[in-house]
Amino acid sequence: MYTGELDLIKRPNEDILGLLIASDELLLEELLKHVQDWLLGKHASWIQQNIALVVNTVFKLADCKRLQDYCFEWIRADPIIHSIIRQ
């Protein structure tokens, strides 16, 4: 991070969500954007498979708008997922 380089390739997606939380708490806007872009660009299927975990994480973070919008649209498009999330 100090060098401006961050390799997320070998990190578990759950750790990447933790990094998202930390970057929000520490007001690291560039890192927050990078992590959102990484998840949306490389791990959209993982987001869909773990939608409850992702929703419970990103909707607590005000600056996670892109991931919030993605989750919201995906849930809205799938009535089964919508009913699961509401439980």
What global pTM score does this model have?
A: 0.79
pLDDT in tens, 23-59: 999 999 999 999 999 999 999 999 989 988 999 999 9
Instruction: Say whether 40 sits in a helix, a strand or coil.
Output: helix
For the chain, the domains span 13-86
Long-range contacts of 33-36 (CB under 8 A, 24+ apart): 34/6, 35/8, 36/64, 36/66, 36/67
